[in-house]
């Protein structure tokens, strides 16, 4: 287990250096550092909000935050913010609804 955590943290450091924020957040989350993952996601979202929310990366970051917080409302927000173009938001929402046993709603998202 310790080796796995070290591997994710090493990957996080490299990804952060080259500014691949979404993957860096995934690594923090996989290493069990949810608080750090939330902080980084919120920082990146704040930066995107300053630049404008039309950037597709903004919707993907909302989805990433939804993954970390386990909040399907963030997938819905990403879908709306992207003018219903963010496929990741619908895939994530479909998986969420499927796991909740809402199969009809899940198929609508797929």
Provide the CATH number for the domain around residue 71.
1.25.40.10
* Axis crossing angle, helix 56-69 with helix 34-51, rounded to the nearest 10: 160
Give the Cβ contact number of residue 48 at 10 Å: 19
Which 3 state secondary structure label does DSSP give 85?
coil
Q: For residue range 5-63, list pLDDT tens digits in order.
A: 789 999 999 998 998 988 999 999 999 999 999 999 999 888 888 876 667 788 888 99
Whole-model pTM: value is 0.82
What range defines the domain where residue 92 resides? 2-109
Please give the tally of structural domains in the chain. Answer: 1
What pLDDT shows up at residue 3?
78
């Amino acid at each position: 287990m310790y080796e796995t955590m070290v591997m994710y943290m090493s990957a996080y450091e490299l990804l952060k250096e080259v500014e691949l924020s979404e993957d860096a957040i995934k690594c923090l989350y996989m290493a069990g550092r949810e608080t750090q993952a939330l902080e980084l996601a919120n920082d990146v979202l704040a930066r995107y909000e300053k630049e404008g929310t039309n950037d597709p990366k903004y919707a993907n970051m909302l989805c990433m935050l939804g993954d970390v917080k386990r909040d399907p409302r963030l997938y819905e927000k990403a879908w709306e913010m992207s003018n219903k173009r963010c496929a990741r938001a619908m895939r994530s929402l479909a998986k969420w609804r499927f796991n909740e046993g809402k199969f009809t709603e899940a198929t609508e998202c797929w």
